[in-house]
Chains A and B, each alone.
Chain A
Amino acid sequence: MTDFKIVVCMKVVPKPEEIRVDPETRRLERSQVRSEFNPPDMNALEMALRLKDLYNARVIILSMGPAFFEPYLRIGLAMGADEAFLLSDRRFAGADTLATTYTLAKGIEKLGHPDLIICGEESSDGATGQVPPGLAEWLGIPQITLVTDIEMDLEQRVVRGRREVRGGHEMLEVPTPAVISVKTASNEPRFMDYEIKDKAFKQTKIGVWSCEDIEADEGYIGVPGSPTIVTGFEQATIRERKREFLPGARDEVVRRLLESIQDYL
């Protein structure tokens, strides 16, 4: 095993199509909702596992969230990650991006010095890609976001990433350690490996860390560490449409359609 170490930040999210807003209380109804790994984080894990295949890197999953995340982390282990840690403490709850990135950064510091921290592009429950740059800032290291592909130079200790920008792409190079975020759907996450699945589900221990374990400052985590407050939720309303079915044979429908849309062009 080399001393090349990768931390993958993964989050469990409610399935978006099952979330509703209670019209009375204006709160999210999430009790009935099933969860899944944030889909973009599977792409992050896959990128790390490919580096493991190439360089025999050590891949560590890190997540902040409640105890029910644990079985999901085992899916990551069964895919080939070596270890998993869950930052779980009542006091972490209610964290916005600032508190989340602080807490994850403390967890990463506790894990020793990884060469790469790989995140997904964004979490599907609302936050939008602000964790990777925020993490990089707390750790004081560079970042390359939205990469579709990366290349390591272990000797020079640099990483090169192909990053998507409007109308094209760019190649950036930064020294390691660095934070990477992976463009969603840029690789095909592998399935669980049945040979290691049993071990991953029964034997491997998942480290669960509290505020004290990562030596976090209580003023920087959870609600006290979060400048942002949510003042309300609403169910998004999609505007009413005519929903007029155009009848007739194909040629008639074509005619009707061309007439109907004429006024709007």
Chain B
Amino acid sequence: MVASLYGVEDEQKAIWVFLEQMEGEVERVSLEILSKGRQLADEAGWSLVGLLLGHQVSDQAERMVAYGADEVWLAVHPLLEYFTVDAYAHVVEQAMLKGRPSVFLCGATPNGRDLAGRLAVRLRTGLNADCTDLRLNPENGMLTSEVTGFGGGVLALLESPHHRPQMSTVRPGVFPMGEEDPNREGHVHEMEFELAEGMIHTKLIQRVVGEGVDLTQTPVLVCGGRGIEGKFDMLQEFAHLMNGEVGATRPPVDEGHIERERQVGQTGVVCRPKVAFACGISGAFHFVVGIQDADIVVAINSDPNAPIFEYTDFCIVDDALQFVPALIEAIQMDRATAND
């Protein structure tokens, strides 16, 4: 049987969280995992350790204590300024072999998945990808990860009983972010490690990163599907009036009507708005999982038998291309009257 580089006998009772940063700012998903990690660590009486790699990131380390970490392991190096999987895997591996955590968590982001995928093989351990929930058994220290499969229709529970660390990547947006508490006490530990240019084979030639949208946090989500025939300007106007953001199903994204980061669902973003609108969307499971945590769902579809109505609170059988403009007009009129 394949054995991990370190086993259950030499583990430390600790949960480690990889703190992903971009341009010196720790990503939101890492903070979400920190707060879930804090809860699990408290229940089990374990410690919570954040692992932060970067160049000019020391100021962020203290902040991570305020977000719940008992300890922050900090690795600072010019070659860590930007993420390359070679450099990061190298340093995280060294940290893990030193710290021997029982549990290692990171965000299921493009970089988090790259890193976790390589590390799991290097350490010969299991990896549960894209988890939507985590449980830690305080008695035996077993981590149970919940993952979804088959378009979101099936939940599976996974464990790695004999291998360490127990690794999982966590889907952004599934855990709420905790409050910053400046009175929390913790310890920042600056790591010593080996890293040299020759170990890195990935060359970053160019990076174009704009503002980016974060659909996971919007209070109102206005989604458009194939049925709106690319009229995202109309949805944008409506979303703007409602202080919300526009999302989409996969077909309009594939057809280039809207950016991929606005895709909602199984292979897109999972959101938890107060109100989600589904305009011209049939209601495939792949899409519906992306709005299942909305407080209220409104759907507008010209087909009264569209499956989306199964997952909807307020169902409207109408042409979205006419209904949405009518809605916009009504809101504008109400506001004009209110301002008189």
Contacts and interface: CB of A to CB of B under 8 A. Distances in A.
Interface of A: 14, 16-17, 19-21, 28, 96-99, 101-102, 122, 124-134, 136-138, 142-146, 160, 163-175, 184-185, 219-220, 224-236, 238-239, 241-246, 250-251, 253-255, 257-258, 260-261, 264-265
4 closest residue pairs by CB, A with B: A167-B212, A133-B117, A126-B149, A227-B126
Interface residue SS majority, chain B = mixed
B208 A169 contact: yes
A97 B201 CA distance: 24
Nearest to A175: B201
A227 B125 contact: yes
Given A142-B201, A232-B157, A238 B330 contact: no
A254 B315 contact: no
Nearest to B172: A166
B286 to A, nearest CB: 8
Contact of B118 (A133, A164, A229): A133
Interface residue SS majority, chain A = mixed
B159 A130 contact: no
A265 B128 contact: no
B151 A170 contact: no
A168 B207 contact: yes
A166 B212 contact: yes
Given A171-B206, A244-B314, A239 B292 contact: yes
B117 A130 contact: yes
B157 A170 contact: no
A137 B88 CA distance: 13
B93 to A, nearest CB: 11
A163 to B, nearest CB: 7
A244 B297 CA distance: 11
A124 B151 contact: yes
B314 A234 contact: no
B158 A229 contact: yes
A233 B154 contact: yes
B201 to A, nearest CB: 5
A119 B175 CA distance: 30
A171 B160 contact: no
B322 A16 contact: no
Interface string B109-153: 111011111101110111111100000000000001001111111
